[in-house]
Amino acid sequence: MTGLTHLDEDGAARMVDVGAKATTAREAVASGRIDMSPEAATAIAQGLVKKGDVLAVARVAGIMAAKRTADLIPLCHPIALSAVALDFALDDKGVTVTATARTAGQTGVEMEALTAASVALLTIYDMAKALDKAMVIGNVRLEAKTGGKSGDWRRTP
């Protein structure tokens, strides 16, 4: 089973040993989108959703999720995050979420950024589902990463 980093020589799942890797500053940016009815988007924008401030709750949920990524993704390393930020772009058809995670460590923060974006999107759905059960979550993806042995990477349009 050569070449597969998360499998040992017998094919069993394993957590990669990052102990010998250099500690470097690392950052990852992920994004995703939730499409919804214009009525639901307006209610979110105007703060009229009965459950409360949708984007404030989604921001906290995304931050909390990033901090728990290793509990959710079996082979992820628990890492000390130095920052997690979520930004929202609201338009008349939905919300685009952008999550940024940072650390100084031996492994990257791509999964933390992706988890933050995903859970923020799920939280928006939960908060607004009474207004629009047909909302669609999609396009969750890594936008960029910096640091580490593999260097910098940015999605090209």
The helix (H) or strand (E) run that includes residue 25 is strand 24-35
Q: What is the pLDDT of residues 126-136, one digit of tens each?
A: 999 999 999 99
75 has a pLDDT exceeding 70: yes
DSSP per residue over 75-91, as a string?
A: TPPP---SEEEEEEEEE
Q: How confident is the model at residue 20 (pLDDT cuts 50, 70, 90)?
A: low
Of 26 and 9, the structure prediction assigns the larger pLDDT to 26
Contacts of 71 (CB under 8 A, 6+ apart): none
Q: Which of 6-10, 58-62, 90-94, 122-126 has the lowest mean pLDDT?
A: 6-10
1 has a pLDDT exceeding 50: no
Q: What strands lie across the sheet with 136-146, from one edge to the other?
A: 83-91, 94-105, 24-35, 136-146, 153-154
Q: How confident is the model at residue 21 (pLDDT cuts 50, 70, 90)?
A: confident
Whether 126 is catalytic:
yes
Q: What is the pLDDT of residues 27-73, one digit of tens each?
A: 999 999 999 999 999 999 999 999 999 999 999 999 999 999 999 99
14 has a pLDDT exceeding 80: no
Catalytic residue among 10, 17, 91, 126: 126
pLDDT of the residue at 41: 98
State residue 43 phi and psi, 5-degree precision.
Answer: -60, -40
Contacts of 119 (CB under 8 A, 6+ apart): 61, 62, 64, 65
Mean pLDDT, all residues of the chain? 92
